[in-house]
Amino acid sequence: MTEEEVAMEMEAVEAVYGEDCVILDSNPPHLHLHIKPRTAEISSQQFVEAVVRIQASSKYPDEPPRISLIESKGLDDQRQKHLIGIVQEKASQLSSSLMLVELCEEAAERLTIMNHPDGDCPLCLYPLFPEDGWSKEMPFMKLMSCFHCFHCECIIRWWNWLHTQKDTDSKSGDTLHMRRGTSTHEGNSGSGGQSLGNCPVCRKVFHASDIEHVLDLVGAQSSQKDSGLIQGEDEDPLLQSDSENVRRERFEAILKTQEEKGGLVQPKKNISVVPGMYLPPPAPVTASSNEEEAGHSREQGEEAPKEAESETNSSSSTNHRGRGRGRGRGQNVNRRKPNSQDPRKPTRQWVQRAREDDK
C-alpha cells in the first residue's frame, strides 16, 4: 500500500463523515469519529452516542488500527465493550486492505442497533429492549421533558386510557381524571385538555407533541396492518380518526427519509401495536378524587349534600391525609402531592365523602 493510497483513503473518510470526523493525523491515520444512531434524526429517537478513536500504526493496513472509545452516552459497560469489540474484529478480518471507511461504517451501524435505553418499561415492567433475542421486541420512546422511557404501545395505551376516562367522565358530568396542576388546569377548555399529560414515573408535565412521534408510529403501523386487533385484547378496536390519518401521512414522510438513510425507525413488520383501547363506561361507582368537584365544593358547597358537608367539617379538624413515603424501586420519590404545584392551596387535607351522597 502506498502512502498515496492511504492519503486518498483519508480524503474519502473526510468526505463521507465531514464534521463528524476529526483527523488528528493523516499518515499513519489517526482519527476521532463522532457517531450517532442513524435513526436519530429526531432527537426523541436518540438514546446513545459515542466518539470512537481509530489509530493506525505505520504498518497500516497490514497491522489493523487500534480502536477505542473516547466518549459515550447511554451505553453501559457491556455495550461499550461490545461496540469496540465488534469494530476490532472487523479490523482484523480486513487486515492488509484499506479499511477505514468500513470500520467507521461498522461502528455507526453497530451503534444504530444499540440505540435503545436500558432497563424495564415502567408500565409493563418488561425490558424496553429485550437482549435475549427471544422476547418480542417492541418500539419504545422517551419523554423529552424527563427522559423516562416507555414502550410506545404502553404509553399510548395509558394516554388513550386517560383521555377515554376523561371523555367519559365529562360526559357523565362526573369526575375529571387528570390531576390538579395538569391539563385539567392548563387545558381545561374543550379539546385543549388533550395537550398535556404527566409522566407516569415522575409526574413531570409533558406536552402532547412529546409523544406525537409515537402516535405517528402507531398510526403507520395500523395502516400497514389490516388488523388493529392485536395481542388477543378483545377490547381494542382500531383507532381511525382524521387526526390519525394526518399523523400517519406525516409519519410516512419521515419514514421515507429514514429508509433512505437505512434507518431503523421503520416499524417492525411483524409487530403488533394496540392503537387504542375501548373502555366500557365506568361503573357508576368508579370514582376517584375529583378536583373539579372539589373546586365546586370549595366555591359554594352547593353540590355537596348536607351530610357530606358535615363530614367535611368534622374531618377538617383532623390531619387526615395519608401519604405514601419511601416508594419502592427508588423511583417516584417526591412525585406525590399533586397539590404542591399549586401554591395558592398549600394546606389542603384529605376528606372523604360517601358516594351515595353525591347526587
The binding site for other proteins (CB under 8 A) comprises: 122-126, 157-158, 161, 179-180, 198, 200-201, 203, 231-233, 235, 279, 283, 285-291, 293-294, 297-298, 301, 311-329, 331-332, 335-339, 345, 347-356, 358
Residue 199 makes contact with Zn ion by CB under 5 A: yes
Q: Please identify which residue in 110, 148, 157, 213 interacts with Zn ion, judged by CB under 5 A.
A: 148
Q: Is 345 left (phi over 0), alpha (psi -120 to 50) or beta?
A: beta
Q: What's the min distance (Å) between Cβ of 336 and other proteins?
A: 6
The answer, yes or no, to whether the previous bond of 61 is cis (omega within 30 of 0) is yes
Q: What's the min distance (Å) between Cβ of 279 and other proteins?
A: 7
Residue 124 makes contact with Zn ion by CB under 5 A: yes
Q: What's the min distance (Å) between Cβ of 325 and other proteins?
A: 4
Q: Which does 355 bind (CB under 5 to 8 A by kind): other proteins, Zn ion, none?
A: other proteins
Q: Which does 131 bind (CB under 5 to 8 A by kind): Zn ion, other proteins, none?
A: none
Question: CB under 5 A: which stretch of 16-24, 153-161, 164-172, 264-272 binds Zn ion?
Answer: 153-161
The residue (of 148 and 213) whose beta carbon lies closer to Zn ion is 148
Q: What are the DSSP calls for 295-317, one per residue?
A: HHHHHT--SS-HHHHHHHHHHHT
Q: Which does 151 bind (CB under 5 to 8 A by kind): Zn ion, other proteins, none?
A: Zn ion
Q: Which does 97 bind (CB under 5 to 8 A by kind): Zn ion, other proteins, none?
A: none
Q: What's the min distance (Å) between Cβ of 158 and other proteins?
A: 6
Phi and psi dihedrals of 224, rounded to 5? -80, -25
Note whether 13 and 30 are within 8 A (CB): no
Q: What's the CA gap between 191 and 207, in Å, rounded?
A: 14
Residue 86 makes contact with Zn ion by CB under 5 A: no
Phi and psi dihedrals of 58, rounded to 5? -70, -15
Q: Please identify which residue in 6, 91, 202, 254 interacts with Zn ion, judged by CB under 5 A.
A: 202
Q: Which does 73 bind (CB under 5 to 8 A by kind): other proteins, Zn ion, none?
A: none
**Taking CB under 5 A as the criterion, which residues in 176-195 touch Zn ion?**
none
Residue 146 makes contact with Zn ion by CB under 5 A: yes
The residue (of 30 and 142) whose beta carbon lies closer to Zn ion is 142
Q: Which does 146 bind (CB under 5 to 8 A by kind): other proteins, Zn ion, none?
A: Zn ion
**Residue type (1 letter), 124:** C
C-alpha triplet 20, 21, 26: angle, nearest 5°: 170
Residues 6+ apart with CB under 8 A from 166: 176, 177, 178, 193
Q: Please identify which residue in 36, 38, 142, 151 interacts with Zn ion, judged by CB under 5 A.
A: 151
The residue (of 244 and 291) whose beta carbon lies closer to other proteins is 291
Q: What's the CA gap between 182 and 206, in Å, rounded?
A: 9
b/e map 234-267, b = 16+ CB within 10 Å: eebeebeeeebeebbebbeebbeebeeeebbbbb
Q: Which does 325 bind (CB under 5 to 8 A by kind): Zn ion, other proteins, none?
A: other proteins
- For the chain, the first-to-last Cα distance in angstroms comes to 89
Any bridge partners for residue 67, and if so which? 54
Q: Is 206 exposed, middle or buried (0-12, 13-18, 19+ CB in 10 A)?
A: buried
**Interacting residues with Zn ion (CB under 5 A):** 121, 123-124, 146, 148, 151, 154, 199, 201-202, 204
